[in-house]
Amino acid sequence: MPEFNAPLRDMRFVLQEVFDAPALWARLPALAEIVDAATADAILEEAAKVTGQLIAPLNRSGDEEGAQWLEGQVSTPNGFKEAYATYIEGGWVGLSGNSDFGGMGMPKMLAVQFEEMLYGANSSFALYSALSSGACLAIDAHASEDLKNLYLPPMYEGRWAGSMCLTEAHAGTDLGIIRTRAEPQTDGSFNITGSKIFITGGDQDLTENIIHLVLAKLPDAPAGPRGISLFVVPKVLVNADGSLGQPNAVSCGSIEHKMGIKASATCVMNFDGASGWLVGEANKGLAAMFTMMNYERLSIGIQGIGCAEASYQSAVAYARERIQSRAPSGAVAKDKIADPIIVHPDVRRMLLSMKAMTEGGRAFASYVGQQLDLAKFSEDAQERSDAQNLVALLTPVAKAFFTDSGLDSCVLGQQVFGGHGYIREWGQEQLVRDVRIAQIYEGTNGIQALDLLGRKVVANGGVALRQFTHEIRVFADQPDTKYSVPLLDAVERLENLSDWLQEQAKTNPNEVGAASVEYLHLFGYVAYAYLWARMAQVAESTRGEDEAFYGAKIATAQFYFSRLLPRTLSLEQSIRAGSASLYGLDAEQF
């Protein structure tokens, strides 16, 4: 199995040169005292060691062994428990967590780089702490001070983990029809009864305790999503002094046997009158849970980038070494019987597509991280509001476009290997299997597309969209913006389509659903064009300092604008074709 090496040079380029993150941190008082360029570099270097040397070597063995369930207990593959103990010693679970409760308080711009490394090294391992980080966010944002003080410190330490318990066998996207019940008790707690499925890390042997965030309905709850409340339900009850008490009435009924992420335990969780405590207000649990869901959606999007990066690294190494046939223009490796396959146009097409989409995704993830930092730490109310609007707009794009393109890239990486890509020992088939789930969980990509177009564009008249496109136009209007013409053309296409769809939706309710996936993809390509134009601008201005690195950036930008951005043309045609053809068949005719 190929080694995974974190792309540190590229991450520094994005953070320090494209976004000048140290300057941003310096002007935000909450960050200025804890992080600067040197601190960020040290964290990235250590993260690269942890992911590359500790976690990545367990990826293939973890996939082959998988998580195991026996008599209600889940065990992780050999080596996971020891690696997790070392992992939490470094404080990685709490990297961007609230420092008031033991987190490191680092900016999200830095955390997204670490998450990419983690998913690239071992997606199954990454999920255990990713769910913990998201659960901590929800507790921190919505729980009482008593609950925060009781649960957050050991969760940020990594001694306790978190899980998110939403889905039921009959209720996936439509959470308003969940059946799990919460009965109030005289001591202020609630008895939680019901079953949840597809619970990542619902049980495992890595931590002392697991803190489940459970959606349930009170006896007098109104029907539908407005009647959902959120509860914290520990696997092991916690005493007032923070020590562990008796086991709660929580059990793992089984684990799923899956296509990929086999070392991540995906559990059926049963709550049989388990003790739970209300998080936030009654009947407003869905809003509280979305604090966690939105974190997880960006995180899972980054899974797509991480897996694509891992696939790209091994595909490039293979293409440089594997010799087959001669280059179309004549022999390149004249001392060998054939040329390395990297000389062939189609192999270059695949590798450049992977490179352009992965590096574009990395820059876009950093941009979303920047908006999250501004929304959280800026002392300017307008800046916070603008950043919050962009986060709401861009989160579904990040989740869906990162993972759709991530699967595409992993399939391309597998294709570069030819038949060897289908063989387990090379690792490419595992990446295809592991990344596939990212398009499904935390809200399917179709749901993300509906959220983007239906809620974030049509429902509010495209306010946040105009904010984003205005920013792009301001950048493109600079005299030294090399790709201003195709960038502005793409922005205009996005704006015109958005206006057209808003008009169509007034008379035909099917139009939003019919156009949403293609619209999200078109949006993604335009967003990447913005980031590639910014990266190319920096690379052009500093090219002489490192010709190999910056020259590669410039060439990849050229490939993106000439070969990938034109996909928006066909997407536009599909969108403008409307919804009528989707309804040409009766259900029985399918």
Q: Which element (helix H / strand E) includes 251?
A: strand 250-255
| 439 DSSP 8-state letter | G
The sign one gets for the Cα dihedral 358, 362, 367, 372 is positive
CA separation, residue 209 to residues 182, 237, 290, 465, 479 (Å): 21, 9, 23, 43, 57
Q: Radius of gyration over alpha carbons of the chain, in Å?
A: 24
91: left (phi over 0), alpha (psi -120 to 50) or beta: left
Angle, nearest 10°, between helix axes 285-321 and 381-416? 40
Q: What span, in angstroms and rounded, lies between the C-alpha atoms of 19 and 40?
A: 14
Among residues 269, 256, 300, 311, the alpha carbon closest in space to that of 66 is found at 256
Among residues 157, 124, 295, the alpha carbon closest in space to that of 213 is found at 295
Beta strands at 236-238 and 244-247: parallel, antiparallel or unpaired:
antiparallel
Cβ neighbours around 479 below 10 Å, total = 5
Q: Which of 115, 116, 296, 442 is catalytic?
A: 442
Cβ neighbours around 548 below 10 Å, total = 6
In the residue annotation, 442 being an active-site residue is answered as yes
Tokens standing for residue 137: 């966010």
Please check whether residue 335 is in contact with residue 535, taking contact to mean a CB–CB distance below 8 angstroms. Answer: no
Active-site positions? 442
